[in-house]
Amino acid sequence: MLKLADKQLLATLVGVKAMGKWNGPPHEPQYLCHAKSKQTGKRCRQFAAYGKRSCYYHGARSNGATNPVTKHGLYTKESIALRKQIAELTRLTNETMKKMNL
């Protein structure tokens, strides 16, 4: 069985760190999360998710809005035109009721 000094010597000869965490294959760089703390201003120390800028705690699981152009549909052209039609019908109904003295 190899002693710790032998393992460290062997690791330095091979070019591998003797003690440390495995962070993936050497040809794929590991990026850190870009999120910052509001209180301390320090960056998150988690690894970013594959292909993302943030870790899973800070929004890497999110796919974004399903339809970012219209979030609620209140100001679409169709809904504005429909509200104008309803307002016009309401106005005409009120005028008709005044003429009928109701």
Q: DSSP letters along 72-93, please? A: S-TTSHHHHHHHHHHHHHHHHH
pLDDT value of residue 18: 47
- pLDDT score, position 94: 95
In sequence order, the β-bridge partners of residue 43 are: 36
Q: If you search the block for the tokens 């106005």, which residue do you land on?
A: 91
User: Cα 8 to chain center, whole Å?
Assistant: 42
**Which spans in 1-102 are helix H?**
4-14, 77-99
Measured distance CA(35)–CA(39) in Å, rounded: 12
Per-residue pLDDT of the chain (102 residues; tens, 9 = 90+): 556 566 565 555 555 444 556 666 666 667 888 889 889 999 888 888 888 888 888 887 777 666 666 567 788 899 999 999 999 999 999 999 999 986
